Every structure is written in C-alpha cells, then in structure tokens.
Amino acid sequence: MNTKNFNRITLTALLLVAVLFPFFADFYILCIGISVLIAALLGQSWNIMSGYAGQFSFGHAVFFGIGAYTSTTLYTMFGVSPWLGMIIGALVAALVGAAIGFLSFRYKLRDDYFALATLAFAEIFRILVNNTSALGGATGILIPYLVKPSEYQFASDKTYYWVILALVAFATVFIAVMSKSKTGLNLVAIKSNQEAAAALGVNVLKYKLIAISSSAFFAALAGTFYAQYYGFIDPSIVFASSISVEAIVPCIIGGSGTLYGPLLGALLIIPLQEICNSLFTSISGINMIIYGVLIVLFIMFCPDGIYGRMTKYISKRKGN
Amino acid sequence: MPLLSVQNVCKYFHGNKAVDDVSLEINKGEIVGLIGANGAGKTTLFNCLTGYYKATSGKIVYKDKRIESLKPHIICRMGIGRTFQIAKPFGDLSVLENVAVGAYNKCKTKAEAYDKARQCIIFTGLAGKEDTNAGTLNTGEQRRLELARALATDPELLLLDEVMAGLTPTESQEMVELIRNVKDQGVTILMIEHIMPVIMALSDTVYVLESGRLICKGSPEEVSQNTQVIESYLGKSQEA
Ligand SMILES: Nc1ncnc2c1ncn2[C@@H]1O[C@H](COP(=O)(O)OP(=O)(O)O)[C@@H](O)[C@H]1O
Ligand SMILES: [Mg+2]
C-alpha cells in the first residue's frame, strides 16, 4: 500500500468519524465539538493569509464580526435568509479585507506594523458598531428563534454541527486546491521573500489582497454561523480580541501554512480550554492565560506546530 | 538601438550619492560586466533598473520604453530578469515549485509552467533536486536555483548580481560555462562580478564603477590595463 492510498484511507476514516460524531456524543460533548469546528474554521481562515502568505493578522475578529453583523441585520431588518446573508457577509468581509490590505500594504506596513493595523481595524469596527443604534449598539441583536432550516435555524444541535463541519470542509478543500495552484505558490513565495517574488513577476500587492480577502471570506462564514447558533450577537462578543486570538492559536499550535494543522490545533486547544475552565471556575480569563503561555512556548520550541513538525519528521525519515 | 539604455541615472540616499550620473548601454546579445569595489553602487544601480528603487534622476529606457517608474513585477513581465547578491530561495517550497513561480511569469497553464520549470532545472544542472526543499540547498545549488528561477521568467535581459559569490573554484568554473550557455540561448546579460578572471572570460564590454560614478568603459583587456582602474579597484582588491 503506498502513502497516497494510506493517506486517502486515513482521511476518509477521519471524515467518517467527524460526520458520525453527533450520534455518539451527548449534548455537552456535541457543544464542544461545535466550538472545535468554529475554532477550526477561524484557524483555516487565518491560515490562508498568515500561515500561507505570511501576513500576520491580529484582528481577525473584524471579519468574523462583519459576517455576523451583515447576515444578522439583513435578517432581522429586511428578512433576508441568513443563508444568503452568510454569503453577502462573506463578500462584504472580503471587500473590507481588500480595503484594509490596500491601505496597509500601500503604505508599506509590514510584519508587526501590519499586525497592529489589523488589531486597530478590529477595534475601530467594534467601537463603530457599539455606537450605532441602528445596529443595536452595545445592547446587541437578538435573533428571533423560529426553527426554520430555510432560515439557518435548526431544532437540533446535530444539524448545526453538520453545517459548521461542512463549512470547515469547504475551507479545507479550498486551501488544498489553492496551495497547489499558482496562487498558492505565489503566496508562499511572498511569505519567504517578497522582493524575490516580485523579481519573478509576482504582483505582490495583488496576491496579498487575494490572501486577505479569501481569509476574510472564511472568517465571516464563521461569524454568521456563530450568530445563528447562539442567536445573539453584540460588538463586545463578535469583535472581541478573544476571537482574533481564537483564529491564531489553532494555527500556531497545529502548524501554520499546513493544510491540516489548524484542524489539529483546534481539536487540541478547545477541549483543553474546556477542561481548564471547569477546573478553575473561579479564575475568569484562564483560557487567555493558557493561550498566551502556549503561544509563547510553541513559537519558542515548536515554531512549525505539531502537524508541521510531524510532516517534517516523516519526510526527513523518508529522505534518509 | 541598444536593448537597455541608462541615461544619467542618480540615486541618492540622504545625500549619499550611491549612484552618481551613470550612463551605459547594453546591446542585444552582449555580456556586459559591471565591476567596482564594495559599496561602489553596483547593487543600487541594479535596484534602480529593476524597479526596487526609484532613481533620484535620470532615464532608463528598455526596448524604447521608459521603465524607471515601473514596479519590479512589471519590469520582469517586460523581459528583465534578475538574481540577488544574497540568494533568496523560497524555503517552504520545493526546488521545482521555486522555479515554477518564475515560470508562471509567461506560462498560462500549470502544465506549461511546470514543463518550463523542469527544463530550467535541467539546464542549470539541478536535475534530481526537483523535490528537495529549497531551504536545504547548499550555496552552489542556491546560486543555480536563483539562475533557474530567473531564466524561467523567460527574460531577454538578465541581470546577475555576484552569482559567483561563495562558490568554490570548480563551482565558479561550472557557473561560467552555464552563463555562456545562457548567452547562447540568446539572452543578453548584465553581470556584477568581483572576480576579474570571470569578467575577463565572459564579458564583451566592462564598466567600472567607483563611489557611484563610472570611471571607465571598454573591453576587458582595456579595462584591466587602465591605470585609474588598477589604482582604485584592482589594486585594492589585491591588497585585501
Ligand atoms: N537602502 C539603502 N539605504 C541607504 N543607503 C544605501 C541603501 N542601499 C545601498 N546604500 C548605500 O549605497 C552605497 C552603494 O551600495 P551597494 O549598491 O550595495 O554597493 P555594491 O553593490 O557596489 O557593493 C553604499 O554606501 C550603501 O551603504
Ligand atoms: Mg552589491
């Protein structure tokens, strides 16, 4: 049996486990499963622009929030189905991403400065929405619960689980195809050295904008899902820096710039967070402390992440 | 009509005249050498020619078009390729993928681009390294990769910035052969080089840069006998 077949079988088996998971999970475990998948989708989104293209974002909440707010206001104010709203929100986020990218890259913000700029944009959006009464202001928006699948509302959490699983699968397939394409090569080349990429005819600005827009698109999908699943959003939730962190951590832990790294990262980090929260109920924000420590440890000792380290190890052994 | 014509180009960095009123011409099919001590402004001139720096003043005309305000990737599309003094491999990509990035400059489809990339890899003597991670190549291989990538963009004019740097004598001999083969393919070359025998062996015309100014132009023989050049450059490098 060759490696390709082995990989295909493993993948199919894992996918089957993921699909059938709700039948074996109780309500609490299923909720954790959904949280894992939200983190995985955010992680894959971050993976595109930061993992592959190397443009570090510290403000992914801006795209998540735009997704959540676009579909939710379209639904509560105009009766647009959140399914359609999700797509519109993702497109709006992609546009906003392109605008943020254009402003930042145009003025040659790089690395840390770019990361800070994304953080600033997330804060600006949070404050803007907070002060816009038409968008519910600081009170937020409650989504009327009608249990209509055509309006992205389901009676059972199992269905929510499958919806977010499908979105994660979509993002993963997108990355798999992209990473082998011209676009994928150009993004990784830009991450390595953008001067060298430009010397080979790569339009660096254009590909950075492609990266940030497609990344924003997927983060917004996660935002709409979040809104529909929890039925309530406010600026301090969906534009929170904790959302931005939740996009970063699965990638760093699992392996940024790898196809499955963020999935593995989300699968490890969310249950860990759950365990810590139940162990230290008195300490609020314990998850943030743990995230902080983990990020520092991983960046120092395992910068490739777990999946990245694994694949490097395997290819090394094959090479020898 | 020359392929590339540089007219009175200056590049100042806060009063430091890195390139000072340089004019030169490159004709199709030539190998032109550019020599000068460290800090003479050679790389800065390359960066002006390829759109990384905007020249403070002067004109750069390539195939009848002014290019001094164009972006690097546009200049590459127009047919000017370059390598860097410090090799810049894309460490997360394989050798084949590295070269494919360059090949996509002209190739429309993936199949075409990878075909072109494979040809350039064979041409530069990297056959067998296609799937190797580019970050793990040794210096000699990295230099070949730089060249393979630039060639994959299908340039008419190729700018080489110290491609011999860090090579063993055997490797530089091979590189000299390789550059001859590139010329035989019809590519015009402007090369920065420190090693005099290499310049002597390859160039049709040599320009000498000192503190940003061109001090001499001629055939390799003429230049190597010019007293000013011997004093300011050859003498110095022999001391070092
Ligand atoms: N980006 C820059 N900013 C300021 N000074 C620079 C820059 N690039 C080059 N220089 C200066 O220009 C001069 C020429 O450098 P360079 O072109 O690299 O020389 P060479 O390639 O001939 O060794 C040096 O004095 C160098 O310090
Ligand atoms: Mg130099």
Over the stretch B145-189, which tens digit does the pLDDT of each residue have? 999 999 999 999 999 999 999 899 999 999 999 999 999 999 999
Map residue B128 onto helix, strand or coil: coil
pLDDT at B141: 96
Cβ of B48 below 6 Å from ligand 1: no
Q: Tell me which residue of A298, A319, A320 sits closest to A309, measured CA to CA.
A: A298
Distance from CA of A233 to the nearest CA of B (A): 39
CB contact under 8 A, A182 and B91: no
Cβ of B44 below 6 Å from ligand 1: yes
CB-CB neighbors (< 8 A) of A194 in chain B = none
Of B73, B89, B150, the CB nearest to A198: B73
Using pLDDT thresholds of 50, 70 and 90, give the confidence band for residue B197.
confident
Q: What is the DSSP letter of A55?
A: -
Tokens at A274, concatenated: 């759950």
Cβ of B168 below 6 Å from ligand 1: no
Map residue A166 onto helix, strand or coil: helix
What residues of chain A score a pLDDT lower than 50?
A: 320
Q: Are B123 and A215 in contact (CB under 8 A)?
A: no
Mutate to test the interface with B, among A108, A200, A204 (most CBs of B within 10 A): A200
CB contact under 8 A, A188 and B153: no
pLDDT at B238: 47
The yes-or-no verdict on residue B12 having pLDDT over 60 is yes
CB-CB neighbors (< 8 A) of B152 in chain A = 200
The yes-or-no verdict on residue B240 having pLDDT over 50 is no
CB contact under 8 A, B76 and A201: yes
**A209 vs A213, B32, B63, CA distance in Å?**
6, 38, 31
Straight-line distance from the first to the last Cα atom of chain A, in angstroms, rounded to the nearest whole number = 20
- pLDDT exceeding 70 applies to what percent of chain B? 95
Cβ of B36 below 6 Å from ligand 1: yes
Sign of CA dihedral A25, A31, A33, A34: positive
CB-CB neighbors (< 8 A) of B104 in chain A = 182, 185-186, 201
CB-CB neighbors (< 8 A) of B90 in chain A = 188-189, 192-193, 196-197
Q: Are A270 and A246 in contact (CB under 8 A)?
A: no
Segment 206-225 of chain B within 8 Å of chain A by CB:
none
Q: Whose CA is nearest to atom 20 of ligand 1?
A: B39
How large is the ipTM? 0.93
The yes-or-no verdict on residue B233 having pLDDT over 90 is no
Distance from CA of A261 to the nearest CA of B (A): 15
Q: What is the dihedral of CA B179, B184, B188, B189, to 10 degrees?
A: 10
Chain B CA closest to residue A258:
B92
CB contact under 8 A, B97 and A203: no
**A178 vs A197, A211, B99, CA distance in Å?**
18, 10, 18
Distance from CA of B36 to the nearest CA of A (A): 24
CA distance A57 to A42: 12
Judge residue B21's burial from the number of C-beta atoms within 10 Å of its C-beta, 0-12 exposed, 13-18 middle, 19 or more buried: middle
CA distance B9 to B234: 25
Sign of CA dihedral A136, A61, A163, A159: negative
Q: Whose CA is nearest to atom 3 of ligand 1?
A: B13
Segment 64-123 of chain A within 8 Å of chain B by CB:
none
Q: Tell how strand B188-192 and strand B57-62 pair up.
A: unpaired
Q: Whose CA is nearest to atom 26 of ligand 1?
A: B39
Ligand 1 atom nearest residue B161's Cα = 21
CB-CB neighbors (< 8 A) of A195 in chain B = 52, 72, 84, 88
Of B82, B89, B101, the CB nearest to A202: B101
With an 8 Å Cβ cutoff, is B101 touching chain A?
A: yes
Q: Whose CA is nearest to atom 12 of ligand 1?
A: B18
* Segment B102-116 mean pLDDT: 97
Q: Are B3 and B27 in contact (CB under 8 A)?
A: yes
Map residue A311 onto helix, strand or coil: helix
The yes-or-no verdict on residue B130 having pLDDT over 70 is yes
The overall pTM is greater than 0.90 = yes
Alpha helices, H only, B28-187 = 42-49, 72-77, 95-103, 110-123, 139-152, 169-184
Q: Are A111 and A56 in contact (CB under 8 A)?
A: yes
CA distance A249 to A252: 5
CB contact under 8 A, B50 and A257: no
Strand order in the sheet with B65-66: B16-26, B4-13, B57-62, B65-66
**Best residue for ligand 1 mutational test, from B9, B11, B12, B16 (most atoms within 8 Å of Cβ):** B16
Which residue would you say has higher pLDDT here, A295 or B141?
Answer: B141
Segment 251-310 of chain A within 8 Å of chain B by CB:
257
CB contact under 8 A, B153 and A200: yes
pLDDT at A110: 78
The yes-or-no verdict on residue B237 having pLDDT over 60 is no
CB-CB neighbors (< 8 A) of B101 in chain A = 185-186, 189, 197, 200, 202
Map residue B66 onto helix, strand or coil: strand
Residue count of chain A, please give it.
Answer: 320
CB-CB neighbors (< 8 A) of A181 in chain B = 110
Q: Whose CA is nearest to atom 27 of ligand 1?
A: B39
* Segment B68-81 mean pLDDT: 97
Distance from CA of A172 to the nearest CA of B (A): 19
Using pLDDT thresholds of 50, 70 and 90, give the confidence band for residue B224.
confident
Q: Are A264 and A258 in contact (CB under 8 A)?
A: no
